[in-house]
A and B are shown apart, each in its own frame.
Chain A
């Protein structure tokens, strides 16, 4: 099933500041809510997100229960060379998802 929406410019000039947008499908269950019968709903959140640019980490974030479902994370980086962005989301209950996007830099 579709899990991530990624927006990375396909092309950029060397030295350009580019915006990267990511949206990950996830319920982000806080762990604080209870069911109608009083049972605690176990926490199920993404705990960490990272982005590597040709293998080098350029962005990392820790996530917490107060973050809404389907976290939308955007950030900026400098286009230095053609290659690949690798994204990784890690979370509770063994959650891991990856995605990647290519860029060509002139």
Chain B
């Protein structure tokens, strides 16, 4: 809640032209990209760096248990088909959201897991932000830790990356702000106490100290949208998946940190 208020106040300042050195959106050069991690205090970095201090690991361990648990009418566990996640899921999160042929559009990791629940386990899809879905997603994504992000490279995804980029660049909402005005133009500044950062989604799902919980990238995006007082898309909306895809393509080659920790 604190951040939302902060964004709204700072947004008003930005909109009023107090702190906007340039209005045209400039993209961040490859060599200057920095993970949100690099903006954190040494104390918060220490939490992420130590797997016995990082609360995100609680979800990863839950996810590992769920991976092996039989469920649904098919009475099958993820492990029955995908066996050892350390091998079968390695590098996978680095290329998500990925193009789904049947749907003809990109799906994110949460949606892909729910497709398997529905089609292969014949179980009901897990709700967004539920503990079980976050746990499975964190467990799958953790298998890609340290691996370079490649999402968006598939040529079939081009139009969707472009749509996500448009949402990022477009001024919107009551404050008439674009994501770019904070995350490209003012990433080296602060909004009250918070570093603005470059919005590179290297560590999702991640443990946010403010949430006191693990949360998805979509939760983070909806937070920023609340702050911008713009239309907040529903969890799973194509617009949010396209935005995720664009953000991941912007983080091309940066290592996955899941489960990361952020303030």
Contacts and interface: CB of A to CB of B under 8 A. Distances in A.
Are the chains A and B members of one assembly?
Answer: yes
Interface of A: 1-3, 5-7, 21, 23, 25, 27-28, 68-70, 72
Contact of A69 (B47, B61, B213): B213
A69 B58 contact: no
A2 B53 contact: no
Contacts of A3: 58
A66 B65 CA distance: 31
A100 to B, nearest CB: 15
Contacts of A72: 47, 53, 55
A2 B58 contact: yes
Contacts of A5: 51-53, 57-58, 61
Contact of A1 (B50, B53, B65, B212): B65
Given A5-B52, A6-B52, A25 B58 contact: yes
Contacts of A70: 55, 58, 212
A6 B53 CA distance: 9
B52 A23 contact: yes
The 5 closest A-B pairs by CB, nearest first: A2-B61, A7-B52, A69-B212, A70-B55, A25-B58
Max count, chain B CB within 10 A of own CB: residue among A3, A5, A27, A69? A5
Given A68-B212, A69-B212, A23 B55 contact: yes
B239 interface: no
Contact of B62 (A1, A6, A23): A1
A12 B99 CA distance: 51
A6 B52 CA distance: 6
Nearest to A74: B53
Interface in B27-80: 47, 50-53, 55, 57-58, 61-62, 64-65
A23 B58 contact: yes
A5 B50 CA distance: 11
A21 B62 CA distance: 20
A76 to B, nearest CB: 15
Contacts of A27: 212
B250 to A, nearest CB: 31
Contacts of B52: 5-7, 21, 23
Interface in B188-213: 209, 212-213
B97 to A, nearest CB: 27
Contacts of A25: 55, 58
Given A5-B57, A21-B52, A69-B212, 8 more contacts: A2-B61, A5-B58, A6-B52, A7-B53, A23-B57, A25-B58, A69-B213, A72-B53
